[in-house]
Amino acid sequence: FKDGLVFDDGSGNWKLQLNGRVQLDYRNFEPDQWKSDTFSIRRARFGGTFGFLKDFAVRVEGEYANDNTGAVGTTALTYGYLDFTRWPAAKIRAGQFKPFFGLERPQSTNYTDFTELSLATNNGAIFTSTYDRGVMVFGDPLPWLNYNAYVVNGSGQNNDDVSNGKDIGGRFDANFANLLNIKNTVLHVGASASQGNIGFSTAAGAGITQRTEGQGATFFSVTGLNSNSGTDRNRWGLETALAYGPVKFQSEYINANFERRQAGATPAFDNDINVWYADLNWLVTGESYADTYKAGSFGRLKPKNNFDDKNGWGALELGLRYSKFDASDFKSILTAPTATTAFTSEASAWTGGAKWIMNPNARIMLNYIDTSFDTPVRVNSKTSDREKALVVRAQYDF
Amino acid sequence: FKDGLVFDDGSGNWKLQLNGRVQLDYRNFEPDQWKSDTFSIRRARFGGTFGFLKDFAVRVEGEYANDNTGAVGTTALTYGYLDFTRWPAAKIRAGQFKPFFGLERPQSTNYTDFTELSLATNNGAIFTSTYDRGVMVFGDPLPWLNYNAYVVNGSGQNNDDVSNGKDIGGRFDANFANLLNIKNTVLHVGASASQGNIGFSTAAGAGITQRTEGQGATFFSVTGLNSNSGTDRNRWGLETALAYGPVKFQSEYINANFERRQAGATPAFDNDINVWYADLNWLVTGESYADTYKAGSFGRLKPKNNFDDKNGWGALELGLRYSKFDASDFKSILTAPTATTAFTSEASAWTGGAKWIMNPNARIMLNYIDTSFDTPVRVNSKTSDREKALVVRAQYDF
Amino acid sequence: FKDGLVFDDGSGNWKLQLNGRVQLDYRNFEPDQWKSDTFSIRRARFGGTFGFLKDFAVRVEGEYANDNTGAVGTTALTYGYLDFTRWPAAKIRAGQFKPFFGLERPQSTNYTDFTELSLATNNGAIFTSTYDRGVMVFGDPLPWLNYNAYVVNGSGQNNDDVSNGKDIGGRFDANFANLLNIKNTVLHVGASASQGNIGFSTAAGAGITQRTEGQGATFFSVTGLNSNSGTDRNRWGLETALAYGPVKFQSEYINANFERRQAGATPAFDNDINVWYADLNWLVTGESYADTYKAGSFGRLKPKNNFDDKNGWGALELGLRYSKFDASDFKSILTAPTATTAFTSEASAWTGGAKWIMNPNARIMLNYIDTSFDTPVRVNSKTSDREKALVVRAQYDF
């Protein structure tokens, strides 16, 4: 149970782990006209990982809540991969998986610091999809050093490639607290890079867009990028996380260069998007972030006392984040404003959060997200230079 | 096994229950032109419920058969909820679940009296969806008293809300046989109510419709309700079930008021739909309905003898139901007839059923449904004032 | 573990088997313009089979990768059936399942000789879908004799019927090596037949098409078959498999007659499609095909030595296949060529394959498929009379 819900045969020859999660959101937006207040299932998943003969594992997971637009619903494959783990310093993964870029994106969405990733790391203009298809090598050559390198379609979740070229990328990161043997501490730094093309598909359309952190308004949009030879997208990023006991500071910077060599519906360009965030988190009840750190990522937290029918109240965490999205290079080719919509190229957001971690498998989160736009944005005919969102999330997982 | 398929760790600290069901229908319709005779998968589901630390449970279930129109198929989340069950008199459920209204609708579709719910309680004009998203409190404050109260989107399964208002509702019910300590008997009465708006979404369209019980013709349709401020929908219902030994009588009445204050594509109106059904069931092999009753609902029946390779033949149940749908208030704004379609506002149906319950997990049902329409209905250019349907269903579940 | 991943209660009263599989393909095509090189998830599935009270079983399985066109994805029910297995010579299956026709099609896609079925047996013009809905009786009346007979919609996976007529069909097959008690040998012969109509649905469209074996170009297309009374489709086939120790020869011939009695968008016709394939496989590492044969089909292979961290290297298999598709009767009514597409009515393909079976649950396959067309085919404006495809597949299953 400590390692999740695992059935095994005692010999270590095979084991089956079943996984599931449900995240229920209540979201309240201002301006009211931009988006209806709603209960929403953010994620509902069920899947299994089967490990056999020590070195082999296969994982299948379905996302049952990726469509919030009607009764019929659609369900999508999230993870569908094969692992060969004989060599801890060079594990091989093939199939559909998360390519690891940066610090927040590889992290399980069960453990994120806030309800949603920052403007810098969320899916949108820079990262079109959480999952991709291909092959990855990853591992920990030294106890303090972690890396991965991958070749993927670059066309995103549940998508065959739409061009012959593939995306390549990688990340390496180190925890110097481990190297220097400093207890109760994380001194994490890392760098990531990838190159490829946008990989437009029918589903993704021929444009790039960005939404606010709270799943609210789409404030950035550039379209018509698909004609001719496509658009190259090269990304690099730096990351750090510094934790001592119950306090953690974390920050990432990412630069994405979009180069379009031939003019089509849109002129040729060589534009950058620069994004970054910094956040500070405090476990009021005193748990240590170092205990949750493993293989270059923060994971499941075990409260000192679970919320139970005796005296336990679980853990409490408070957090504050600033994030910045700057696509001002694209200002001149933004999707043109209409009577009902208008876009901008820069936004910044402050997020304040509180998290009640009742036990390792259950938590309730409260996030307030205040997003400011460089120039006013129009959605559903309502113009504003600011979006406020309140998100409450209840989450259980196994 | 008695309680289903449950894995636990012995300590009561965690358990996992896996659930699945397959219902295969063969349906035969008259008039032939209205609908092709077909084998159909009515429901095929797979999911799990994970309970941990006594008070917490999370359930995820996927419906694999909600689309019968082609090879690609779609799969939808049915249940995706979190339970906190510390207080039996006030359990809390958050996520996507069935809001409990009336007697038949909260019941598992594994145990319904007939293959489909009655004209009164089936999804259609009054109930647009089985599942909804929100929060519910429910429980049994006294052994004979059960209740629930909920706030939900009101926009149905797998749908975020399309308006800022939410639906609220509740139900309370009592079993006086339990209060009065009468053995082998159920004296159940209950009342439900809800208020909200229709909550039109893209998927649900801007109209209300009703089909016959046998999944046959759509005989009632009103469209164009979506303009301006939407339409309020307030519902109340009464229910009773009286069972003594192997005989059960059950009945529900529901009133739904639709009020539209502003004229749009459709004039303003204040219309009612009144529906009711009554049915009588008899377990020929002598099992008792009281044994299947719990928390305001009838559940799984255990035959006295399972169907086995010795002398067991399982249980046999016979049933008869009358149901009535009266939306005559809407008569003047029914969707206009065309050469191929025409609708009506009133229908009644007789259903005769036989059920062979081979064991607690397997059953075969035979239903004959004779539906009469107030005025003739036209479907696929064929006009008739009556639909006859024969449905055979084979069902296993775990 | 030898029989897969099974949980049971010791008494034989119930057991649950969980199943999953992931197949990752990398596909490279020539001409380049016909299809982008891509990583693709060919199959990702998760499901369970619950057996209870000895004679009853219910199976639900979801296919998570049947849509490769974008982030939202769709998931489809594959198996959703009920089994009653009291009589081994007449087991009954009801629901959505594979109707058994021929030798390759009933086989699990985990064990196929090549990455894809041959031009003769693959889904396309003759077999519109792997799965169908209905009822089947099957079994082994004698140890060397196997049969099945079915009634199904004939309209394919996840589809209700679109006509009142049903498809009926069956197959019987024998292994004379078993009858004559010849060890280490399979002398399999069989015959199949079915009759019904094409059963057009909205999803399947009103035409028949065929793709190359490597999931590449669609080279055959006839449209407009849906008007008036539909088109009858009657099929028969012969099959044989002769294996001695590590060598296996296998072949099937299928004739499909399409008869259209009334002219519509397309004139009336009475046309045949004739297809066949023959293949030769050699287990270089010496395992015996007879060990994998059971109930008229070849199944899971256990290498003499698994690939492990000692001296085991798994099994190696080499194979060669020729397959032929002849729909020349349809030549005059092929879909008319355009500037971007042109079709043909005959094709043949050579496939060379190598398979590294690391252990019973993991394998890597390499297939080279060279398809020649009778007349040049045009796809995406590029004309060629030949398609070359290289497919690498990694597969784990449980």
For A25-41, the pLDDT digits (tens) are 999 999 998 998 999 99
Q: Are C372 and C385 within 8 A, CB to CB?
A: yes
Taking the Cβ of residue A72 and every Cβ of chain C, the question of whether any pair is shorter than 8 Å is answered with: no
Band of residue C1 on the pLDDT scale cut at 50, 70, 90: very low
Token code pair at residue A39:
């209960």
Residues of B with Cβ-Cβ distance to A158 under 8 angstroms: none
Average pLDDT over residues C252-271: 85
Of the listed ranges B4-13, B158-167, C318-327, C348-357, the least confidently predicted one is B4-13
Residues of A with Cβ-Cβ distance to B56 under 8 angstroms: 358-359, 361-362, 396
Instruction: Chain B: give the shortest CA distance to residue A384, in Å.
Output: 19
Q: Has residue B289 got a pLDDT over 90?
A: yes
Average pLDDT over residues A123-138: 92
DSSP designation for A262: S
Burial (CB count <10 Å: 0-12, 13-18, 19+), residue A234:
middle
Q: Which residue of C has its CA nearest to B20?
A: C60
Band of residue A320 on the pLDDT scale cut at 50, 70, 90: very high
DSSP designation for C125: T
Locate all alpha helices (DSSP H) within C71-227, ordered by sequence: 176-179
For C49-68, the pLDDT digits (tens) are 999 988 999 999 999 877 77
Q: Which of C207-211, C333-337, C346-350 has the highest mean pLDDT?
A: C346-350
Q: Has residue B72 got a pLDDT over 80?
A: no
Instruction: Chain A: give the shortest CA distance to residue C290, in Å.
Output: 25
Q: Do B44 and C157 touch (CB under 8 A)?
A: no
Residues of C with Cβ-Cβ distance to A77 under 8 angstroms: 41, 44, 64-65, 73, 75
- Residue of A7, A61, A82 to mutate when probing chain C, most C C-beta within 10 A: A82
Neighbours of chain A (3+ CB pairs under 8 A): B, C
Instruction: Chain A: give the shortest CA distance to residue C60, in Å.
Output: 14
Distance CA A317, CA A90 (A): 35
Distant-in-sequence, close-in-space partners of B179: CB < 8 Å, separation ≥ 6: B142, B143, B144
Q: Do B48 and A397 touch (CB under 8 A)?
A: no
Band of residue C199 on the pLDDT scale cut at 50, 70, 90: low
More confident residue, A35 or C69: A35
Instruction: Chain B: give the shortest CA distance to residue C215, in Å.
Output: 16
Band of residue A142 on the pLDDT scale cut at 50, 70, 90: very high
Q: How many CB pairs under 8 A join B and C?
A: 162
Q: How many CB pairs under 8 A join A and C?
A: 159
Band of residue A2 on the pLDDT scale cut at 50, 70, 90: very low
Q: Are C205 and C121 within 8 A, CB to CB?
A: no
Q: Do A160 and C69 touch (CB under 8 A)?
A: yes
Average pLDDT over residues B110-138: 93
Token code pair at residue B259:
């009020």
Of C26, C200, C65, nearest to C129 (Cα)?
C200
Taking the Cβ of residue C61 and every Cβ of chain A, the question of whether any pair is shorter than 8 Å is answered with: no
Region for B332 from its dihedrals, namely left if φ exceeds 0, alpha if ψ lies in -120 to 50, beta otherwise: alpha
Band of residue A201 on the pLDDT scale cut at 50, 70, 90: very low
The ipTM (two decimal places) reads 0.92
- pLDDT > 70: what percent of chain A? 93
Distance CA B90, CA B96 (A): 18
Distance CA B97, CA B356 (A): 30
Token code pair at residue B97:
């679940």
Q: Has residue A325 got a pLDDT over 60?
A: yes
Distance CA A150, CA A101 (A): 10
Average pLDDT over residues C12-20: 86
Torsion of CA C357, C361, C364, C370, to 10 degrees: 90
Residues of B with Cβ-Cβ distance to A72 under 8 angstroms: 66-67, 74, 76, 158, 203
Token code pair at residue B5:
């398929």
Distant-in-sequence, close-in-space partners of A182: CB < 8 Å, separation ≥ 6: none
pLDDT of residue B293: 96
Instruction: Chain C: give the shortest CA distance to residue B366, in Å.
Output: 15
For B202-229, the pLDDT digits (tens) are 445 578 899 999 889 999 999 877 655 5
Q: Are C367 and C214 within 8 A, CB to CB?
A: yes
pLDDT of residue A197: 82
For C172-182, the pLDDT digits (tens) are 999 999 999 99
More confident residue, B353 or C155: B353
Instruction: Chain B: give the shortest CA distance to residue A293, in Å.
Output: 24
Q: How many CB pairs under 8 A join A and B?
A: 162
Domains along chain B? 6-397 (2.40.160.10)
Q: Do B203 and A70 touch (CB under 8 A)?
A: yes
Q: Has residue C45 got a pLDDT over 60?
A: yes
